[in-house]
Amino acid sequence: MKRINIGIIGLGTVGTGVLRVLKENAVVIRERLGAELVVKRAADRDIVRDRGVKIEPGVLTTDALEVINDTDISIVIELVGGTTVAKDFILKALEAGKHVVTANKALLSTHGPEIFKKAVDKGLDVYFEASVGGGIPVIKTLREGLSANRIEAIYGIINGTSNYILSKMTHDGGKFEDVLRRAQEKGYAEADPAYDVEGIDAAHKLAILINLAYGTNVALADIYTEGITRISPLDIKFAKEFGYRIKLLAIAKSVDNSVEARVHPTMVPATHPLALVDGVYNAIHIRGNAVGPVMFSGLGAGMMPTASAVVSDVVDISRNIVKGISGRLSPFACAPDAVRPVKIKDMALLEIPYYLRFLALDKPGALSKISGVLGAHNISILSVIQKDRKIGGAVPLVIVTHHAVEAALACAIEEIEKLDIILDKVVRIRIEDNLGTVL
């Protein structure tokens, strides 16, 4: 039986998971592939720690170049993360004629095109299923399963940490800071959670999805990114009263020859399947013009789900090796010369419904002052809630608008915040209530 040698750079949680999957599922993988996968070398700074999985003598090294330059190795798995040494390792591996598998979303969202071009020039494969959605096969779906479609929209819950925090706030109550602290204590959130809760991790993943869906190279700076740090229990509660749940959504939408690219807290109908995806689970809802809506959910992180995606990539590349081919599937998901810039829609022109919460003095005429400003900016009100929840002599007043233009709304909010009846910054949360069902 043919033997395909693999090298791994980075034996942390995911790398250890890769060793486990290869070992525990060796028989089924060998039968599916018709070849045997062998980890020939694995590099990590720590080659002493017991990882709970048997590693053959002579496999471990502290020198990544020993993996990259091993002429028996056909596939290098990069799992060190970050955008500096990881990029160097991948480019060196490609230069040395190795196919590459990586889970590195930060790297691919910034240097993906350079890496992909190098792979194409060398006739090699780069696979990166684990970079978005952990174990969910969304990259394969966009590169292959939906290749007959124009992608109309993508709505992703693609940051497990944020989804865990919002789910806890929704179902158990509590302030953002308290829930985050508890999540950190339980090891569900990083000690430095900024990338997760500020939406940056989701923006990295969205960039990868947009590039595949639209054959482009979006700049991270063009993706509007807003995290969940300002979501309050009051907004979670009002969202429920209006029939919504708040999710951190990564959204790509093809509209009028441009693409909306945005990550922000979003109210979605409580009955939509995305609203039901809780805890650290991820979900990606894609609408293709031929297939209609499809949705995947599953674990977006963790040792074994992420290793599942990495090893599946290794199997895919190995199938090509068995057949003596490579480069069949462009890493760009389109012919390299078809990659082109797309126009990213200016957020100021966004036109969707909004949830607005005001802290207003409970005085006659307060509502009419607010609605007067909204009306003057052509913003139409769909519904209003004012309940007797007095906060220091003031009451929260909540308005859901019909579709409104973001720039007009921003002007209206600025004017409203200057009214003498308004005691605090206005809270604005975007609503997506027309995602398309998948039931």
Choice between 106 and 397, CB closer to ligand HSE: 106
Q: Which amino acid is at 347?
A: M
To the query of whether residue 205 is one of the catalytic residues in this protein, the response is: yes
**CA separation for the pair 282, 296 (Å, rounded):** 8
Closest distance between ligand HSE and the C-beta of residue 202, in Å? 8
**Judging by DSSP bridges, how do beta strands 404-405 and 73-78 pair with one another?**
unpaired
Q: What length is written for the chain? A: 439
State which of residues 301, 314, 339, 397 lies at the interface with ligand HSE (CB under 6 A): 301
Choice between 95 and 177, CB closer to ligand HSE: 177
**CA separation for the pair 330, 408 (Å, rounded):** 42
**CA separation for the pair 330, 215 (Å, rounded):** 11
Choice between 44 and 201, CB closer to ligand HSE: 201
Which residue from 347, 367, 372, 346 is spatially nearest to 430, judged by alpha carbons? 347
Give the DSSP H/E element, type plus range, for residue 138. Answer: helix 138-140
CB-count burial class (<10 Å; 0-12, 13-18, 19+) for 69: middle
Choice between 81 and 174, CB closer to ligand HSE: 81
Closest distance between ligand HSE and the C-beta of residue 160, in Å? 3
Q: Which amino acid is at 135?
A: G
Beta-carbon-side half-sphere exposure of residue 315 (alpha carbons within 13 Å): 21
Closest distance between ligand HSE and the C-beta of residue 193, in Å? 9
State which of residues 161, 170, 254, 330 lies at the interface with ligand HSE (CB under 6 A): 161
Choice between 101 and 301, CB closer to ligand HSE: 301
Pair 4, 36: CB distance under 8 Å: yes
State which of residues 109, 141, 159, 216 lies at the interface with ligand HSE (CB under 6 A): 159
Closest distance between ligand HSE and the C-beta of residue 161, in Å? 3
Stretch touching ligand HSE by CB under 6 A, among 153-161, 213-221, 237-245, 263-271: 153-161
Pair 26, 311: CB distance under 8 Å: no
Choice between 112 and 300, CB closer to ligand HSE: 300
Site string for ligand HSE, 24-63 (x = CB under 6 A): ----------------------------------------
Choice between 152 and 196, CB closer to ligand HSE: 196
Q: How many residues bind ligand HSE (CB under 6 A)?
A: 7
Pair 364, 438: CB distance under 8 Å: no
State which of residues 10, 300, 331, 396 lies at the interface with ligand HSE (CB under 6 A): 300
Which residues neighbour 106 within 8 Å (Cβ) at sequence distance 6 or greater?
81, 82, 83, 204
- Asked whether position 166 contacts ligand HSE by CB under 6 A, the answer is no
- Asked whether position 160 contacts ligand HSE by CB under 6 A, the answer is yes
Residues 117-146 that bind ligand HSE (CB under 6 A): none
Strand partners, 2: 35
- Which DSSP string do the residues of 278-339 spell out, in sequence order? -TTEEEEEEEETTTEEEEEEEE-SSHHHHHHHHHHHHHHHHHHHHHT----S-TTSS-GGG-
- Asked whether position 78 contacts ligand HSE by CB under 6 A, the answer is no
For residue 34, the SS3 value is coil
Choice between 158 and 370, CB closer to ligand HSE: 158
Closest distance between ligand HSE and the C-beta of residue 213, in Å? 19
Site string for ligand HSE, 178-217 (x = CB under 6 A): ------------------x----x----------------
Closest distance between ligand HSE and the C-beta of residue 189, in Å? 8
- Asked whether position 298 contacts ligand HSE by CB under 6 A, the answer is no
Measured CA distances, 145 to 108, 140, 149, 241, 432 (Å): 21, 7, 9, 38, 26
Strand partners, 380: none
Closest distance between ligand HSE and the C-beta of residue 186, in Å? 13
Stretch touching ligand HSE by CB under 6 A, among 49-57, 159-167, 314-322, 371-379: 159-167
Catalytic residue among 98, 105, 168, 205: 205
142 DSSP assignment: I
Question: How many Cβ atoms from other residues are within 10 Å of residue 10's Cβ?
Answer: 26
The tokens for 368 are 């009419």
Question: How many Cβ atoms from other residues are within 10 Å of residue 116's Cβ?
Answer: 22
Closest distance between ligand HSE and the C-beta of residue 48, in Å? 26
Stretch touching ligand HSE by CB under 6 A, among 23-31, 53-61, 154-162, 366-374: 154-162
Task: Write out the residues near ligand HSE by the rule CB under 6 A.
Answer: 159-161, 196, 201, 300-301
Active-site residue set: 205
